Structure 1
């Protein structure tokens, strides 16, 4: 993955820092005396001259260029002063350089009250939400225009990354022997050295052996990371992922063309003239666009979690070809047409969000990402694992008398999507032709056994009864208690059929159509015999699917006649 980030950095010629803000400069004259406080727009092309280090926290420590906290501008000013004070002790400074730093430090100290007052006035005049920085300028020149400050800036960085380094070693990114390689990329913050157990010989001095990186690669990694963070980072249902392309074929012009298109999603991808299909909740998603490309590149999909100054990899999906994306979108399009509704990963996320509605934070991210990983890699998903979480959510809505039929529909869409991708498979079983084959065959091969079909038809018949009771009472149907919170076992299912029939008789609504459904359900349950090899979750899932499809079952049994209301 890091080599892909580096190659992106190689082809990114312009800075990708996207900051709109103002810089408040403490301006000194040629004699290094205090001159004025001046305001200037932040211009990304000048970041090298500012000595601005992207991705830095704690006030951009390598140089006196710091973000201003509007509530505490004094602290920011103190950081600038301390920087010059600290670097009076920089080793091997020439006498004239040391005098220059001391003089600047003395001026800032002597004019502290006047300078701080002017800074506060400037901050008050700027919009509260605007980004503000504080730095020093000498007449019209920025600190990066001076050899002295560039050397200190680079020395500061090299000291930090060179705590574990070695000479004449091979860089892990470019594969070349370099004069110096050192530990950590300082680009992604998941390569930390705070856990001795992950370090060679448990010695931090040997940390460079884990990820030896040369300075050239580190610079390219930073440029690539900036580009990816700015242009190729997308929302993903409460999380974010970075899309990192890796180019396999094609010359520089091909790479530049694709990166240029990817970097301008609003103009090139999300065209208003057409409807863009998406798998996620990010309107700028570009996966459909990439699914139409040739396999001249692969994609790394990186889910990161930021934890203070560190980062943790939640999931890294490597080497996803555009052809795999096409397969995924083909499956999505099939589900869209079958259900006349758009399918996306949000359907899956709704079942893998929180294990309990009362929880403040999501606690099922791990399972959700495992499923996402399986989708992109084409790996099998355990059917019983899925059904367990489907039923947890369906039961919750059912017991709350909420729109549980919609939740069942979402689960069915997920099942068809997974089956279409080959992530779940059902054994082929030869069944006799039946009145309801249109339904049994339409939504996949899951209804491949007599017990499943019997449970399914009983679920449809039961929903018709619930509808009748609801229309009579306009409240929670009392027969719902018989369904045991959708935790019925084989014995409960077999006992339920006659109870449904009797209750429909009481309401004088057990007509020819419902009798036909009951007969077919009874036939299948008898064929199934005893000792079903099905979990309680699976039994109730097929029952719930029947509840959801009761209207389609009704259309078949009542043929072309006008459907009854119930």
Structure 2
């Protein structure tokens, strides 16, 4: 992964304009396509007033023009950058910190701003010192609450007071400009309408801060290029960390001084890594469901890529991901990249590192790195996604419109969501790794997860999980598609299919059993589920959409005793609903297989329930699609 980031960094690094390499991207429109805005917080020295006004609609040049480089490195670092995506630091820490930094040609000018436009909330202990000052709201508008009033409301809690001041400012912007906080892309500070970020000395200090790790070079050899000059083991400026720099188990001799023996970087390599990281975070960031992803190509030759090449490559990936939220973009890239680079006679020219991550404060926490995925694997994935969809249309109905792709997989493996954050994500990421790398998946583990999924759907408990609301039969058919897909791409072992010529049932059912490669026990449960579906369909018609037959199923699993009971009771249910004469052959086929294998039954309670639900969903889907597709169970 590191080599891939470096390759990208070499392609995009602007040696003449260092700051351009660390400028961050912004969203210039919201999800609905509405514009976002740039808000100016201006200190007017003539009127001694603070003005908040609309600068412009956000555009692709806004971050560079205003030097938007995120927040200062590290969660506890003093904040002093004058452009932000929230006003919190701008209205409190930034100006006081810049004054204390004694930047020639800037700090003295800012001292008068600090003296005239900021409110002192009093002496604080060292831990809270950063919260001492906040802008004086009376300088903005006399209609707003006073700082004294806010501090009193917060019982002297300065941190809460700053939040309240921020809310007052947001409410002011909404009232005066008609712009809500979520509609703002960036805020910036200016003095007499000149952005502080335009100041040459300010920009010099930003550059110096980013490069200060190399001021006193360490001894050794660069871990990447073998240079011996300008070395540093400080990787705090890198956001995609390769190893921990805080855990004492990692450095040689368990001493923090020995991190240099783990990794040393020269100035040039560090700058290229920073540039590569920033490009990846701006241009190669995507998601599958609630999982955040960076796609990091690793070129297998001595590349001479330019920034334009990388822009084109990233656009092609992201355009596809943005519109489809599936992996087709990577497959398209594999074909289109040949138009960008002349690689005559060369094969396997790049691999992809797929980095799943979580943003935590100002750091990136790596959840899983899937290394060296060959682009041809995505061709396999996409082709088989199409094959499975088409096969199930043939098996059930041409009207079947259940989607399937990598996005679908996210919603098929239930994991808990707490406060909008995915918990227990490891199982889900293990499934994705198996799909990307053609690794085997344990069928029993997968079956248990699918039973849990069906239980969630049946009891409509989706809100606690990463599960979209769906009807039980649709969810079950999609689950069947998932199993077939995994078999096709080599992640699940194919079962030994039974000889369906022995069964006196309709050909469509035989075809489904053969396509799903059911053995006799699985087919017996599938046919029992078909009978449940037949009863359910009749009950649905006669009982205003109710299906009491489903109460016979235990959604924690159907052990052999419960399965025997259902097999016996289904006859009376067919008779009660006056459909036995239409389903005698189907029941006979179920009993034929069930009785034959009952003494040596090998399926567990989860298997039994899964195949019963498969049969139920097959019959329900065929009936509903044939009749025009009622949306109820």
- TM-score by structure 1 length? 0.77
Question: Deviations along 1:225-270, whole A, 9 cap, x unmatched?
Answer: 222222211132122111111222485358843542423668x758
Q: Distance in 2 between matches of 1:73 and 1:47?
A: 16
Match of 1:75 in 2: 92
Which secondary structure does the structure 2 equivalent of 1:426 belong to?
Answer: coil
Which secondary structure does the structure 1 equivalent of 2:220 belong to?
Answer: strand
Match of 2:273 in 1: 221
Residue 459 of structure 1: how far off its partner (Å): 1.1
Match of 2:453 in 1: 393
Tell me whether 1:522 sits opposite 2:563 in the alignment: no
Match of 2:558 in 1: 488
Structure 1 pair 142–465 and aligned structure 2 pair: CA distance change class (3 A): closer
Residue 471 of structure 1: how far off its partner (Å): 2.7
Q: Distance in 2 between matches of 1:260 and 1:167?
A: 38
Which secondary structure does the structure 1 equivalent of 2:92 belong to?
Answer: helix
Tell me whether 1:371 sits opposite 2:431 in the alignment: yes
Match of 1:563 in 2: none
Structure 1 pair 171–541 and aligned structure 2 pair: CA distance change class (3 A): same
Tell me whether 1:84 sits opposite 2:99 in the alignment: yes
Match of 1:328 in 2: 381
Which secondary structure does the structure 1 equivalent of 2:567 belong to?
Answer: helix
Match of 1:560 in 2: none
Contact preservation (8 Å) 1:459, 1:543 = yes
Question: Deviations along 1:359-380, whole A, 9 cap, x unmatched?
Answer: 9754342221111111111111
Tell me whether 1:179 sits opposite 2:230 in the alignment: yes
Tell me whether 1:17 sits opposite 2:20 in the alignment: no
1:468 to 531, 538, 562: 538
Tell me whether 1:338 sits opposite 2:338 in the alignment: no
Tell me whether 1:403 sits opposite 2:475 in the alignment: no
Residue 330 of structure 1: how far off its partner (Å): 0.9
1:56 to 72, 95, 98: 72
Contact preservation (8 Å) 1:246, 1:298 = yes
Structure 1 pair 74–385 and aligned structure 2 pair: CA distance change class (3 A): closer
Match of 2:574 in 1: 504
Question: Deviations along 1:498-522, whole A, 9 cap, x unmatched?
Answer: 32123323433212x4111111111
2:409 to 341, 345, 348: 348
Match of 1:279 in 2: 326
Structure 1 pair 380–441 and aligned structure 2 pair: CA distance change class (3 A): farther
Contact preservation (8 Å) 2:495, 2:517 = no
Q: Distance in 2 between matches of 1:425 and 1:9?
A: 42
Match of 1:91 in 2: none
Question: Deviations along 1:277-316, whole A, 9 cap, x unmatched?
Answer: 6527xxxx72342354574221111111122233211111
Match of 1:424 in 2: 492
Q: Distance in 2 between matches of 1:178 and 1:348?
A: 49
Which secondary structure does the structure 1 equivalent of 2:553 belong to?
Answer: helix
Contact preservation (8 Å) 2:25, 2:63 = no
2:480 to 381, 393, 412: 412
Matching of residues 218-257 of structure 1 within 5 Å: 218-249=270-301, 251-252=303-304, 256-257=308-309
Which secondary structure does the structure 2 equivalent of 1:286 belong to?
Answer: helix
Match of 1:203 in 2: 255
Q: Distance in 2 between matches of 1:139 and 1:396?
A: 57
Which secondary structure does the structure 1 equivalent of 2:188 belong to?
Answer: strand
> Which shows bigger deviation, 187-196 or 521-530?
187-196
Residue 489 of structure 1: how far off its partner (Å): 1.8
Q: Distance in 2 between matches of 1:551 and 1:189?
A: 49
CA RMSD, 1 decimal: 4.4
Structure 1 pair 73–330 and aligned structure 2 pair: CA distance change class (3 A): closer
1:134 to 189, 206, 214: 189
Question: Deviations along 1:54-108, whole A, 9 cap, x unmatched?
Answer: 45367996866343865786525xx3343232347xxxxxxxx6xx577546555
Q: Distance in 2 between matches of 1:67 and 1:553?
A: 55
Structure 1 residue ranges without an equivalent (≥5): 29-33, 89-96, 556-565
> Which shows bigger deviation, 379-388 or 46-55?
46-55
- TM-score by structure 2 length? 0.70
Contact preservation (8 Å) 1:246, 1:299 = yes
> Which shows bigger deviation, 403-412 or 110-119?
110-119
Match of 1:534 in 2: 603
Match of 1:93 in 2: none
Q: Distance in 2 between matches of 1:119 and 1:264?
A: 49
Question: Deviations along 1:5-40, whole A, 9 cap, x unmatched?
Answer: 122122225656335635667799xxxxx9x99997
Q: Distance in 1 between matches of 2:580 and 2:180?
A: 70
2:522 to 446, 452, 458: 452
> Which shows bigger deviation, 240-249 or 50-59?
50-59
> Which shows bigger deviation, 516-525 or 217-226?
217-226
Residue 141 of structure 1: how far off its partner (Å): 10
Q: Distance in 2 between matches of 1:256 and 1:70?
A: 34
Structure 1 pair 542–103 and aligned structure 2 pair: CA distance change class (3 A): closer
Question: Deviations along 1:110-149, whole A, 9 cap, x unmatched?
Answer: 6657997998489967656442222579999976635xx6
Q: Distance in 1 between matches of 2:579 and 2:231?
A: 85
Contact preservation (8 Å) 1:327, 1:421 = yes
Question: Deviations along 1:330-350, whole A, 9 cap, x unmatched?
Answer: 111111212343312343222
Match of 1:311 in 2: 364
Question: Deviations along 1:478-536, whole A, 9 cap, x unmatched?
Answer: 4334333462222332343232123323433212x411111111111233241322221
Which secondary structure does the structure 1 equivalent of 2:562 belong to?
Answer: helix
Match of 2:221 in 1: 170
Contact preservation (8 Å) 2:313, 2:333 = no
